[in-house]
Structure 1
């Protein structure tokens, strides 16, 4: 259980932060950037939910689950894989969480109008925010892939972020009247 009685600790005043292993790293470390961008993704999902809470309960329920999963993912990334005994079992993203995202994609995608062009971010407010979430989650994924080239990270974590951006895309179309209200790219339209 997490207990936060005092928010400021002053331990980061030197430009470092603690990982779940207790190791301190600079705040601009790639691992910190990766889980910080996962946190940023979660904040954007919070904005999306302002628009889905009352209008799309089925999407909102998945987004609620995703927000919790993103905290799990942050904990996963904040605790490097090591042979060292940490005194606890580190929280890791699981293949079941990846499968749950795939299932959610399949449910929404079944009702969508087939795409005939690329989709521009827009349409409903929820869809626009989902496109924002998609782009931030893609950045998090790129950072995680870069990190995985330097350090061991949980492969399911990278898979999760890859599927998550796909979910955001499909959900954005679903909330744009099942794709009928998508804003489509018209190549060379303004030449």
Structure 2
């Protein structure tokens, strides 16, 4: 006998979902928007990884896993009385690792002389897309904070650094800058 594992539960049919702490909220809730944008970022990275390899692919694979951790972090409102390690949270050490990777990748790139247009190689274009979606996830998380909802500091810093890393990674994926497409101010007037 085959047991079917249904993907649908029908519990969200009326437009509600549950956060990790069990609280029922609208699917349009700011918190759901924030971790939803993180999920979109992750999907963009999956697409980018189809065209990357080596060290960059290893970095992106680790980040994809960390984005699930970040989604869990954002889906669980931070509490002042939270015992360390009781909830899956992004750590400052993960933010610091992103900074180290940004510095390492950037060291292999020529200095920027102009704004870079999204494009060049397929991997770079996909990484630029992931960067813009990540920036939206960051904006959604900031909206959450501005609405008075608790969000862990490392989660916000992680999103900010990740978008920086994705910019540098896109440049790196453009043959270490050789295939970059630069903005030409007023060129089409």
Specify the TM-score bucket, using the shorter chain as the normaliser: over 0.9
| Structure-2 residue corresponding to 1:147 | 144
User: Are 1:177 and 2:175 an aligned pair?
Assistant: yes
Structure 1 Cα separation of the partners of residues 25 and 90 of structure 2: 22
TM-score (normalizing by structure 1): 0.92
Structure 1 stretches of 4+ moved >4 Å: 83-86
TM-score, normalised with respect to structure 2: 0.93
Tell me, in whole angstroms, the C-alpha distance in 1 between the residues paired with 2:160 and 2:114. Answer: 22
Aligned pair count?
Answer: 183
Q: Tell me, in whole angstroms, the C-alpha distance in 1 between the residues paired with 2:42 and 2:112.
A: 27
Distance 2:67 2:145 in 1: 18
State the secondary structure of the residue aligned to 1:89. Answer: coil
- Say if 1:83 and 1:103 are closer, same or farther in 2 by CA, change over 3 A: closer
Q: Where in structure 2 are the equivalents of 1:2-81 lying within 5 Å? A: 5-52=5-52, 56-81=53-78
**Secondary structure class of the residue paired with 2:93:** helix
Match of residue 105, structure 1, among 85, 102, 106: 102
**What runs of 5+ residues in structure 2 fail to find an aligned partner?**
none
* Structure 1: segments with no counterpart, 5+ residues: none
Instruction: Tell me by how many angstroms 1:6 deviates.
Output: 3.3
Q: C-alpha deviations, 1:34-64, integer Å up to 9, x for none?
A: 0000000000000000011xxx310000000
Distance 1:167 1:94 in 2: 17
**Who is 1:131 aligned against?**
128
Once the two structures are TM-superposed, the CA of residue 77 in structure 1 deviates from its matched residue by: 0.5
Shift of 1:84: 7.8
Residues 78-119 of structure 1: CA distance to partner in whole angstroms, max 9, x if unpaired? 111236889x92100000110111111111000101110000
